[in-house]
Amino acid sequence: MAILITGGAGYIGSHTMVELLNAGKEVVCVDNFSNSKPVSLERVKKITGKDFKSYEVDLLDREGLEKVFMENDIDSCIHFAGLKAVGESVEKPLLYYHNNLTGTFVLCELLAKYGAKRIVFSSSATVYGKPESVPISEDFPLSTTNPYGETKLMIERILKDLYVSDKEWSVSILRYFNPIGAHKSGMIGEDPKGIPNNLLPYVAQVATGKRECLSVFGNDYNTHDGTGVRDYIHVVDLARAHLCAINRAETLTGVEYFNIGTGVGYSVLDIVKAYEKATGVKINYKIAPRRPGDIDECYANPEKAAKLLGWKAEFNIEDMCRDSYRWQSNNPNGYGDD
Ligand code: NAD
Ligand code: UFG
């Protein structure tokens, strides 16, 4: 019995495959490499010393995907594949709706057809929109501000309807907060294309001299130092949450929602300080205007995941910064070097 991993070559997927393989699970990866490279899968094999099958397949290609089901004994799925850049989703909404929604439709039809009605889905804290208070619990009101977020919320609702229509489904919705860091080997990590949109990849590139200076987007937010506060979570902790979710799904049907965060918020300037402390490298920064759409504060109440999944984040912010720096120093051009 194998777990189908869609988007397994990506940042979170590759780290999750390491944890699944180390736990003795069988995995089959599908990815179209639109935002990743096959070399990440080779590195997963090196880290774990284990082999697995992978297919270059687009989820929109029903025939190609069905072949994967025919050739493997798939009984569940962790569904990472999707486009994820908020700004790009505003510019290209049809691309985002088509890729993320249609890809999920094709996938779910085949999961049902082949009797693998167990899915763990990558959702995001973005579905809480601008929360009225923090920490955020799973029952907070949901809203979104961009097409990317819409696709997450729509897929959450579609998966719920699927269960309503057929009680054999097991659906676990994981709402990630801000994944950062990298595997301790320094062999896999986040490999953004071009100028990074997200804070940590940018800081990592300043630390290693690839970029001059971090722009801190706004210092007049309603937070302890005026800069935006987020719940940063080590990608390996996040990966382990998937292992817990897939184990729970083996025995339960239904739909469950889990916040996957640490429950602690750090500001942009806290991150700069933590990065400097963890690495001994100075991070140049300047205060810049706010980035449209950003919110003041966002951090999780992760108690439900602790209680039902038996999962808790273990790495601290310095671990996250140190591991990010190791990955970036070893791979200044990401997987492009290989
Ligand atoms: P990523 O881009 O590194 O990985 C996604 C993978 O999916 C890539 O390898 C890409 O090539 C693949 N893919 C995209 N469309 C596909 C398609 N149609 N068919 C086959 N493969 C396809 O992103 P990530 O950071 O690893 O994120 C994984 C998931 O988690 C995504 O769904 C993302 O929206 C979600 N998420 C990410 C974050 C974050 O900050 N990284 C936060 C919340 C949620
Ligand atoms: N920031 C800067 N400078 C930068 C980049 C970011 O100051 O160069 C600040 C932002 O203003 C924000 C904080 O750093 O206050 C974090 O920003 P990120 O872009 O790293 O992360 P976001 O919280 O904005 O968004 C991320 C993902 C979304 C996802 C969301 C919740 O990019 O896709 O987390 O999971 F929806």
pLDDT category of residue 209 using cuts at 50, 70 and 90: very high
Q: Which residues contact 298 (CB under 8 A, 6 or more apart)?
A: 125, 128, 131, 134, 136, 177, 229, 230, 231, 265
Q: What is the DSSP letter of 231?
A: -
- Helix, strand, coil shares of the chain, percent, nearest 5, are 40, 20, 40
CA of 1 from ligand 2 middle (Å) equals 38
Q: Which of 80, 89, 144, 197 to mutate to test the pocket of ligand 1 (most atoms within 8 A of CB)?
A: 80
pLDDT category of residue 338 using cuts at 50, 70 and 90 = low
**HSE of 14, CA atoms in CB hemisphere, 13 A:** 28
What stretches of 245-311 adopt beta strand conformation (E)?
A: 254-260, 266-267, 285-288, 297-298
Nearest to 137 by CA among 222, 252, 261: 261
Task: Tell me which ligand sits closest to the C-alpha of residue 201.
Answer: 2
Cβ-based neighbour number of residue 246 at 10 Å:
22
Q: What is the pLDDT of residue 337?
A: 61
Write out the catalytic residue numbers.
Answer: 148
Q: Is the CB of 189 under 6 A from ligand 1?
A: no
Q: Among 119, 155, 122, which residue's Cα sits nearest to residue 238?
A: 122
pLDDT at 220 over 60: yes
**Which helix or strand (DSSP H or E) is residue 119 part of?**
strand 118-124
Q: Say what the pLDDT of residue 132 is.
A: 94
Q: How far is CA 306 from the centre of its chain?
A: 19
Query: What is the pLDDT averaged over residues 21-45?
Result: 98
Count of CB atoms situated within 10 Å of the CB of 308 = 15
- Name the burial class of residue 23, with classes exposed (0-12), middle (13-18) and buried (19+) by CB atoms within 10 angstroms of its CB: exposed
Q: Tell me: the pLDDT tens digits for 255-283?
A: 999 999 999 999 999 999 999 999 999 99
Angle between helices 103-113 and 62-71 (to 10 degrees): 30
Q: To the nearest 10°, the Cα dihedral for 218, 219, 225, 231?
A: 0
- Going from the Cα of 84 to the center of ligand 1, the distance in angstroms, rounded, reads 6
Residue list, ligand 2 pocket, CB within 6 Å: 84, 86, 124-126, 176-178, 197-199, 202, 214-217, 228, 230, 268, 291, 294
Which residue's structure tokens are 């302890």?
Answer: 224
What angle (nearest 5°) sits at the alpha carbon of residue 327, between those of residues 321 and 330? 135
What is the position in ligand 1's atom list of the atom closest to the CA of 59? 19
This prediction's pTM: 0.98
Give the distance (Å) from ligand 2 centre to CA of residue 280: 24
Closest ligand to C-alpha of residue 215 is: 2
What mean pLDDT comes out for the span 72-84? Answer: 98
The C-alpha angle with vertex 23 and arms to 21 and 25, in degrees rounded to 5, equals 55
> What tens digit of pLDDT does each residue of 141-170 get?
999 999 999 999 999 999 999 999 999 999
pLDDT digits (tens, 9 = 90+) for 98-147: 999 999 999 999 999 999 999 999 999 999 999 999 999 999 999 999 99
Residue 190 C-alpha to ligand 1 middle, in angstroms? 11
Please report, for residues 12, 96, 152, 176, 316, the alpha-carbon distance to residue 275 in angstroms, rounded to integers and kept in the order given: 21, 33, 31, 22, 12
Separation CA 338–CA 333 (nearest Å): 9
**DSSP state at residue 23:** T
**Taking a C-beta distance cutoff of 8 angstroms, is the pair 259, 220 a contact?**
no
What percent of the chain has a predicted confidence (pLDDT) above 70? 99
- For ligand 2, atom 6, name the residue with the nearest CA: 199
Instruction: Identify the CA nearest to 19 among candidates 35, 5, 36.
Output: 5
